[in-house]
């Protein structure tokens, strides 16, 4: 463990915590503009977090200690997921933990805890949201694993740092497998982050809620941590997509000065990705909850097709 690795790891965590609400504000602003609505300020998520952190938390009398602990657990999972994804450099002390399976496990752990907390209070909407959240997770996690495995077959490793180093620093080549995986990853990201067409993060209709139904009973600092964790999850998924499909600009392990260019490159790629997400949400309509399994099953099939295409091309090239 070198001092440059420690600096890059700390910088990644600080950038994730600082830029995650900004990415959410950027997407919300462009979404409002594209829909001809008055756009909120770019710093609105920070103002909301500041307001919530200065409010008292109201907790139900029969809430268990799990209900109080879940916001901290979910926030910790999302912060750890953001820190193990190589966004600025591949020289990370947590790089051995940046395994594809471990990353999916972190997202699954956060989902299980927030679903348990939603059911802990015993409200109908909390239980409804928990069941829907687990249904989406049950279908989305295998598709996400297949996407990560498609990139792992190219680099022959499930480590995200190895995948980035392999894809970013080899000769420019066209990988048809990544085209299928890219479409599948986009579909999974929309479902996992409660975006249109699977869910609407701005909805106020209880019967159509998925993510929002889970957190109706939270307030104050607990709600602030969950909202911050939701922004971190969007940031983490965005960085996973950039690491798999647009890894250029990420510094190598032995090039610490390249991090000076890695941060502007990351901000630029996130800005473009946030704009495209807002465009996609504007053009798409929210689907019925009964169509979500078909949507995620299609993502799974596309990811599997990407793996099969890579294996067929590799066997043909070897012959």
Tens-digit pLDDT string for the chain (319 aa)? 577 778 888 999 999 999 999 999 999 999 999 989 898 899 999 999 999 999 999 988 888 999 999 999 999 999 999 999 988 888 888 877 778 888 999 999 999 999 999 999 888 888 888 999 999 999 999 999 999 999 899 888 888 888 888 887 766 667 888 999 999 999 999 999 989 889 887 766 666 678 888 888 999 999 999 999 999 999 999 999 999 999 888 877 566 677 778 889 999 999 999 999 999 999 988 888 889 999 999 999 999 999 999 898 887 654 3
Measure the CA–CA gap between 135 and 116, rounded to whole angstroms. 14
Task: Give the Cα-Cα-Cα angle 195, 201, 203 (nearest 5 degrees).
Answer: 125
Measure the CA–CA gap between 292 and 299, rounded to whole angstroms. 11
Tokens 């409660």 belong to residue = 194
Kindly state the greatest CA–CA separation across the chain: 68
Cross-strand partners of 89: 251
Residue 175's Cα: distance from chain center in Å? 23
Task: Report the pLDDT value the prediction gives residue 177, as an integer from 0 to 100.
Answer: 87
Contact yes or no for 222/120 (Cβ under 8 A): no
CA atoms within 13 A on the CB side of 150: 33
pTM for this entry: 0.93
Task: Report the pLDDT value the prediction gives residue 167, as an integer from 0 to 100.
Answer: 84
Phi, psi angles (nearest 5°) of residue 174: -95, 125
Tokens of 2: 């070198």
The residues, ordered by sequence, that sit 6+ positions from 215 with a Cβ below 8 Å of its Cβ are: 114, 118, 223, 226
Contact yes or no for 249/261 (Cβ under 8 A): yes
Task: Report the pLDDT value the prediction gives residue 253, as an integer from 0 to 100.
Answer: 59
Domain range for 188 is 3-318
Measure the CA–CA gap between 75 and 224, rounded to whole angstroms. 10
Domain count, the chain: 1
Tokens of 274: 């946030």
Task: List Cβ<8 Å contacts ≥24 apart for 138-142.
Answer: 139/191, 139/292, 139/293, 139/296, 139/297, 139/300, 140/188, 140/191, 140/192, 140/296, 140/299, 141/104, 141/107, 141/108, 142/300
Contact yes or no for 234/188 (Cβ under 8 A): no
Task: Report the pLDDT value the prediction gives residue 319, as an integer from 0 to 100.
Answer: 38
Tokens of 188: 């999974």
Instruction: Write the CA distances from 45 to 137, 164, 211, 274, integer angstroms.
Output: 26, 31, 17, 15
Task: Report the pLDDT value the prediction gives residue 91, as an integer from 0 to 100.
Answer: 80
Contact yes or no for 225/70 (Cβ under 8 A): no
DSSP tag of 251: B
Task: Report the pLDDT value the prediction gives residue 34, as an integer from 0 to 100.
Answer: 92
From 125, 87, 83, 80, select the one nearest 107 (Cα to Cα): 80
Task: Report the pLDDT value the prediction gives residue 204, as an integer from 0 to 100.
Answer: 63
Measure the CA–CA gap between 120 and 258, rounded to whole angstroms. 48
Contact yes or no for 81/105 (Cβ under 8 A): no
């Amino acid at each position: 463990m070198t001092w440059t690795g420690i600096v890059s790891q700390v910088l990644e965590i600080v950038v994730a915590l600082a830029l995650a609400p900004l990415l959410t504000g950027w997407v919300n602003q462009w979404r409002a503009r594209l829909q001809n609505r008055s756009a909120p300020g770019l710093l609105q998520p920070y103002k909301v977090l500041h307001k919530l952190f200065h409010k008292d938390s109201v907790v139900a009398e029969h809430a268990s200690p799990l209900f109080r602990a879940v916001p901290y657990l979910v926030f910790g999972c999302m912060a750890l997921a953001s820190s193990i994804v190589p966004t600025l450099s591949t020289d990370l002390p947590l790089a051995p933990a940046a395994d594809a399976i471990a990353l999916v496990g972190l997202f699954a752990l956060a989902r299980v805890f927030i679903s348990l907390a939603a059911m802990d209070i015993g409200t109908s909407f909390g239980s409804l949201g928990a069941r829907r959240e687990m249904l989406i997770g049950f279908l989305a996690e295998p598709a996400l694993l297949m996407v990560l495995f498609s990139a792992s077959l190219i680099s022959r490793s499930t480590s995200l740092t190895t995948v980035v180093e392999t894809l970013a620093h080899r000769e420019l080549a066209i990988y048809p497998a990544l085209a299928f995986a890219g479409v599948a990853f986009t579909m999974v990201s929309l479902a996992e982050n409660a975006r249109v067409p699977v869910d609407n993060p701005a909805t106020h209709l209880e019967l159509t809620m998925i993510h929002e139904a889970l957190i109706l009973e939270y307030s104050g600092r607990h709600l602030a941590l969950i909202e911050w964790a939701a922004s971190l999850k969007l940031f983490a998924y965005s960085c996973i997509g950039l690491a798999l499909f647009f890894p250029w600009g990420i510094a190598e392990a032995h090039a610490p000065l390249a991090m000076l260019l890695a941060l502007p490159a990351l901000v630029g790629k996130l800005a473009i990705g946030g704009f495209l997400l807002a465009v996609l949400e504007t053009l798409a309509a929210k689907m019925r909850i009964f169509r979500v399994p078909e949507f995620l099953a299609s993502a799974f099939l596309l990811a599997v097709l990407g793996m099969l295409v890579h294996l067929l091309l590799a066997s043909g090239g070897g012959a």
